[in-house]
Amino acid sequence: MDLTGKTVMITGASRGIGAAAARRFAAAGAKVALVARSKDAIAEIAGEIGPDAAAIPCEVSRYWEVEQAVQNCLTAFGSLDVLVNNAGVIDPIAPLAEADPDAWGAALDINTKGVFHGIRAALPVMLAAGGGSILTIGSGAAHRPLSGWSAYCSSKAAALMLTRAAHEEYSQSGIRAISLSPGTVATQMQKTIKASGINPVSQLDWSDHIPPEWVAEALVWMCSPEADGWCGDEVSLRDPDIRSKVGVA
């Protein structure tokens, strides 16, 4: 897919899915704004990609920083066509009776409020331009409880509802809001899950996880009209038909 002339802003772009997505969108011709707390990591990836990439340090749990990141993206590239809400954390992994309340709240600040902050900051820009795509990394955890993951499951369920709310309110104004449930992905998060030993996901072998590059391919595909039928809903990369459409079957 040719995304020449488009600008994509990716949160959590310092590693894993975010870094893979930045490289893949750049390969498709897009200008890429890499947003993350790890300023050195995103600077290195942006330098690798070249002049069509910008590193924008940002803490997604703080709205004013996300709003400023959007403005920095506009300063660098003049537009914002695609937002990828990717930043997320798995901790705290703990039973409800033992979970640290501050850590539990911090997870929602990133996984849920961070998604809201991205949508809230990007929407005025996209609406003024006549439309745009808001893609959010979801999870099967949004649909069922998993032991030790109360914060993660709750935050992902809320993030999915934000996708549906954005579609409900702005689909008629050119906004394409879609969630992507990738399944388990070979990233640092899975190493943390493995070390926890809690619930069946931690028992999976490393070979059971898909590479982050598959998720990046799916995100690029989701920018195409072929994905319009999933607007306001969730694409599951566990679905063999979706994998075929994306080209990673």
Give the residue numbers marked as catalytic. Answer: 152, 156
Q: How many helices (H) and strands (E) does the chain have?
A: 9, 7
Specify the amino acid at residue 70.
V
Centre a 10 Å sphere on the Cβ of residue 123 and count the other Cβ atoms it contains.
Answer: 20
Pick from 105, 75, 103, 73: nearest CA to 91: 103
Sign, Cα dihedral of 3, 176, 32, 193: negative
Rounded Cα–Cα distance for residues 32 and 116 (Å): 20
- How far, in Å, CA of 193 to CA of 142, rounded? 17
